[in-house]
């Protein structure tokens, strides 16, 4: 198959932005496939990085999409978390893409929990590195402060900058560079409308291609 990502097996992990039809599990998955990759996507609503490391439950559902198969979504109910070790052993990816930020950022609180964020991101990237897969981490997009999620622009920038410094050896994709605050409308202050997810998924995939060209996966 032709395409900049031909021959790659990509495992994509995400939070609620990946956990429903029309979200990144649609747009990012399909954009990566269009570049020739074999893609396995998993999203868990409310999942921080540590949710992929220890078996627990997420309160608001999960979704998966395996290669050319359909989106299998279990919405609005508690679900057991998928574990990174199981997924690595099952799919043997060359590249792991992690989209995780909002569930760790502490929106609405006075201070961002830096030590907690660093500990779990470092633990997850170490597990990925141990599998000899390359890794890319995707940071947050802007939302709205006057929403139940209290997703203030200043905190979005703060968590994005902190993740950029914390996720090595993963490369980092700064999603705040894709759209200005308010440019991509939301449905609830955090989750984007369908056109926003289409744009974000395409932008992430394009960034993955650029990173792959600069530093080919193992």
> What backbone phi and psi angles, to 5 degrees, belong to 170?
-70, 145
pLDDT in tens, 10-21: 999 999 999 999
Confidence (pLDDT) at 78: 86
Number of neighbouring beta carbons within 10 Å of residue 173 = 23
Q: Quick one: average pLDDT of 116-145?
A: 97
Q: Say whether pLDDT at 2 is over 80.
A: no
Give residue 12's region: left, alpha or beta (phi > 0; psi -120 to 50): beta
* Cα-based torsion angle of the residue sequence 32, 37, 42, 45 in order, rounded to the nearest 10 degrees: -10
d(CA 2, CA 19): 29
Confidence (pLDDT) at 143: 97
List the single range of 70-79, 159-168, 181-190 with lowest mean pLDDT. Answer: 70-79
d(CA 210, CA 101): 22
Q: Say whether pLDDT at 54 is over 70.
A: yes
Written as six digits, the tokens of 110 are: 């006075």
Written as six digits, the tokens of 123 are: 């633990």
Q: How confident is the model at residue 210 (pLDDT cuts 50, 70, 90)?
A: very high
Confidence (pLDDT) at 76: 83
Q: Say whether pLDDT at 37 is over 80.
A: yes
Confidence (pLDDT) at 121: 98
Query: Could you give the C-alpha distances from 100 to 46, 49, 159, 186, in angstroms and in order?
Result: 9, 6, 11, 18
Q: Say whether pLDDT at 218 is over 90.
A: no
pLDDT in tens, 67-101: 999 999 998 888 899 999 999 999 999 999 999 99
Confidence (pLDDT) at 216: 67
Confidence (pLDDT) at 75: 85
Q: What is the pTM of this model?
A: 0.97
List the single range of 27-41, 47-61, 138-152, 204-218 with lowest mean pLDDT. Answer: 204-218
Q: Say whether pLDDT at 201 is over 60.
A: yes
Query: Could you give the C-alpha distances from 129 to 40, 95, 168, 208, in angstroms and in order?
Result: 18, 10, 10, 18
Confidence (pLDDT) at 42: 98
Q: Quick one: average pLDDT of 101-130?
A: 97
Domains of the chain: 9-214 (3.40.50.1110)
Confidence (pLDDT) at 215: 78
Point out which residues pair with 72 in neighbouring strands. Answer: 64
């Amino acid at each position: 198959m032709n395409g900049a990502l031909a021959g790659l097996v990509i495992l994509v992990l995400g939070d609620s932005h990946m956990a429903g039809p029309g979200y990144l599990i649609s747009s990012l998955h399909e954009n990566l496939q269009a570049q020739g990759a074999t893609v396995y996507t998993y999203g868990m609503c409310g999942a921080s990085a540590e949710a992929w490391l220890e078996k627990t439950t997420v309160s608001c559902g999960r979704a998966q999409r395996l290669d050319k198969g359909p989106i299998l979504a279990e919405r609005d109910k508690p679900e057991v978390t998928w574990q990174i070790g199981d997924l690595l052993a099952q799919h043997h990816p060359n590249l792991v893409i992690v989209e995780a930020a909002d569930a760790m950022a502490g929106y609405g609180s006075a201070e961002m929990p830096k030590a907690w964020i660093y500990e779990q991101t470092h633990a997850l990237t170490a597990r990925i590195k141990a599998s000899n897969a390359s890794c890319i981490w995707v940071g947050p997009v802007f939302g709205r402060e006057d929403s139940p999620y209290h997703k203030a622009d200043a905190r979005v920038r703060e968590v994005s900058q902190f993740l950029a410094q914390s996720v090595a050896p993963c490369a980092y994709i700064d999603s705040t560079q894709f759209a200005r605050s308010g440019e991509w409308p939301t449905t609830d202050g955090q989750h984007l409308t369908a056109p926003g997810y289409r744009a974000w998924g395409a932008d992430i995939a394009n960034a993955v291609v650029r990173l792959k060209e600069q530093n080919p996966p193992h």
